[in-house]
Amino acid sequence: MKQEFIIAIDGPSGVGKSTLSRRLAEKLRYVNIDTGAMYRSVALAAHRAGIAMNDGDALEQLCAHLEIRFVRMDGLEKVLLDGEDVSEAIRTPEISLLSSQVSAQPAVRRAMLSLQRKMGERGGVVLEGRDIGTVVFPMAEVKFFLAATASERAKRRYLELKAKGLDVDLAQTLAEVEARDAADCGREHAPLRQAQDAVLIDTTVLDIDQVLDRMLEVVTERQAVCHTKGSVTP
């Protein structure tokens, strides 16, 4: 019997999923699995190899030989692609757009789906992405769907990139966010949508700590219910 929850966090780009997934996992002492980083890693590998983002056969072969791992180094979570730390390389605007394209490929989704389920099947994990609660783990004990206006998400992304010393334009960043939304919601396979049983949290006017507190409240409530029923031991 699984002893700990599978927690799914879905939502569009720039809504704070990565930060909240990491901090929630830390609070619960769970493993954080950044599924978006997995697709970004595939996009980076394909870009480096000169593979087109719509070449399903080539992407399938690529995925078959990639090793993607999450590790903690010097107190920070790192994404390793074939042993290389690509934590920063996968966060550029270019890779963000390419990852949306590559994630629409059925072969890539199958490969990442299999890996994600293997990583999280025993519970005690927090996974974030765009189809965790609808496709990857539809039976997750706790599901969240985070939302925020496109303008607010663009502003957050703009400030994040500026802080890293990148030369970015706010209007261009907003256009990229809107393009990413259109691609994520309109793709044929596993489009972005809120699971019926997901808890919706609009983060537009909330800071990270406020959202985290709300998520912890929900998890604690679910743990109490499951503990009473004897189905899950928190």
Domain presence at residue 183: yes
The answer to whether the predicted template modeling score (pTM) of the entire model surpasses 0.85 is no
- 49 inside domain: yes
Domain housing 24: 6-222
Q: What are 81's strand-pairing partners?
A: 68, 84
* The predicted structure's pLDDT at residue 183: 85
DSSP-H helix ranges across the chain:
17-28, 35-49, 56-65, 93-102, 106-120, 150-163, 170-186, 208-229
In a domain, 234, yes or no: no
Angle, vertex CA 234, rays to CA 210 and CA 25, nearest 5: 45
pLDDT tens-place string over residues 176-231: 999 988 988 887 777 889 999 999 999 999 999 999 999 999 999 998 888 777 65
Flag whether 208 is in a domain. Answer: yes
The single residue listed with the structure tokens 């719509």 is 54
Tell whether 115 is covered by a domain.
yes
- 113 lies in a domain? yes
Condensed to tens digits (0 to 9), the pLDDT of residues 107-127 reads 999 999 999 998 888 899 999
* CATH number of the structural domain spanning residue 78: 3.40.50.300
Domain membership flag for residue 175: yes
Q: How many domains in the chain?
A: 1
